[in-house]
Amino acid sequence: MPRYIFITGGVVSSLGKGLASAALGAVLQARGYKVRLRKLDPYLNVDPGTMSPYQHGEVYVTDDGAETDLDLGHYERFTGVSATQGDNITTGRIYKNIIEKERRGDYLGATVQVIPHVTHEIKSFVLSDAGDVDFVLCEVGGTVGDIEGLPFFEALRQLSQELPPRQTCFMHVTLLPFIAAAGEMKTKPTQHSVKELRSIGIQPDILLCRADRPISDSDRAKIGRFCNVRESAVIQGLDAKSIYDVPLAYHAEGLDSAVLAHFGIEDAPDANLARWEGISKALAEPDGEVNIGVVGKYTILPDAYKSLTEALVHGGIANEVKINITWLESDMFEGDDALTHLEGLNGILVPGGFGYRGSEGKIRAAQFAREHNVPYFGICLGMQMAVIEAARNMAGIETAKSSEFEEIDGENVVGLMTEWTRGNERLKREGKSDLGGTMRLGAYPATLTEGSLVAQIYGTRNIEERHRHRYEVNVDYKDRLEAAGLKFSGLSPDGVLPEIVEIPDHPWYVGVQYHPELKSRPFKPHPLFAGFIKAAKTQSRLV
DSSP state of 1: -
Among 139, 169, 380, 506, the active-site one is 380
Among 253, 341, 517, 526, the active-site one is 517
* Residue 291 clears pLDDT 90, i.e. is over it: yes
Rounded Cα distance between 313 and 322, Å, is 8
* Residue 343 clears pLDDT 80, i.e. is over it: yes
The residue type found at 84 is T
Rounded Cα distance between 65 and 315, Å, is 25
Picking from 33-37, 111-115, 394-398, 437-441, which range would have the lowest pLDDT averaged per residue?
A: 437-441
Residue 337 or residue 135, greater confidence: 135
Q: What does the pLDDT look like over 386-433, one tens digit per residue?
A: 999 999 999 999 998 888 887 778 888 898 765 545 555 555 555 555
287-542 maps to CATH 3.40.50.880: yes
Domain spanning 3-279 has what CATH number?
3.40.50.300
- The confidence score (pLDDT) of residue 438 equals 66
User: Using 50, 70 and 90 to split pLDDT, how confident is the model at 449?
Assistant: very high
- The confidence score (pLDDT) of residue 505 equals 93
Edge-to-edge strand ranges of the sheet holding 471-473: 400-402, 411-416, 471-473
58 burial class (0-12, 13-18, 19+ CB within 10 angstroms)? buried
Mean pLDDT across the chain: 91
- Give domain limits for the chain: 3-279, 287-542
Residue 18 or residue 424, greater confidence: 18
* Residue 473 clears pLDDT 80, i.e. is over it: yes
* Residue 367 clears pLDDT 50, i.e. is over it: yes
Would you call 209 a catalytic residue per the annotation? no
- The confidence score (pLDDT) of residue 409 equals 81
Using CA atoms of 371, 377, 378, 383 in order, give the dihedral in degrees to the nearest 10.
Answer: 70
Nearest of 209, 174, 171 to residue 193 by alpha carbon: 174
Rounded Cα distance between 315 and 295, Å, is 18
H/E stretch holding 234: strand 234-238
Q: What does the pLDDT look like over 123-172, one tens digit per residue?
A: 999 999 888 999 999 999 999 999 999 999 999 999 999 999 999 999 99
- The confidence score (pLDDT) of residue 432 equals 52
Task: Quote the strand ranges of 471-515, DSSP E.
Answer: 471-473, 487-491, 498-502, 509-512
* Residue 105 clears pLDDT 80, i.e. is over it: yes
- The confidence score (pLDDT) of residue 77 equals 97
* Residue 334 clears pLDDT 80, i.e. is over it: no
**Region 354-360 average pLDDT:** 82
- The confidence score (pLDDT) of residue 298 equals 87
Q: What does the pLDDT look like over 297-321, one tens digit per residue?
A: 888 888 899 999 999 999 999 999 9
pTM for the predicted model, two decimal places: 0.92
- The confidence score (pLDDT) of residue 330 equals 86
Q: Which residues, 6 or more positions from 341, have their beta carbon under 8 angstroms from its beta carbon?
A: 293, 326, 328, 332, 333
What share of the chain in percent tops pLDDT 70? 95
**Region 456-462 average pLDDT:** 96
- The confidence score (pLDDT) of residue 464 equals 96
- The confidence score (pLDDT) of residue 403 equals 87
H/E stretch holding 38: strand 35-41
- CA 407 to centroid of chain Cα atoms: 31
- The confidence score (pLDDT) of residue 340 equals 81
Q: What does the pLDDT look like over 209-231, one tens digit per residue?
A: 999 999 999 999 999 999 999 99
Instruction: Judge whether 170 and 206 are in contact, CB under 8 Å.
Output: yes
Would you call 138 a catalytic residue per the annotation? no
H/E stretch holding 101: helix 91-104
Q: Do 287-542 and 3-279 have the same topology in CATH?
A: yes
**Region 501-527 average pLDDT:** 97
What share of the chain in percent tops pLDDT 90? 78
- The confidence score (pLDDT) of residue 420 equals 46
- The confidence score (pLDDT) of residue 374 equals 95
The strand pairing partners of 61, in sequence order, are 67
- The confidence score (pLDDT) of residue 206 equals 98
Residue 332 or residue 282, greater confidence: 282
The CA-atom distances, in angstroms, between 472 and each of 49, 345, 476, 497 are 19, 29, 11, 7
Among 251, 262, 469, 515, the active-site one is 515
Q: Tell me how crowded residue 131 is: count the other CB atoms within 10 A of its CB.
A: 8
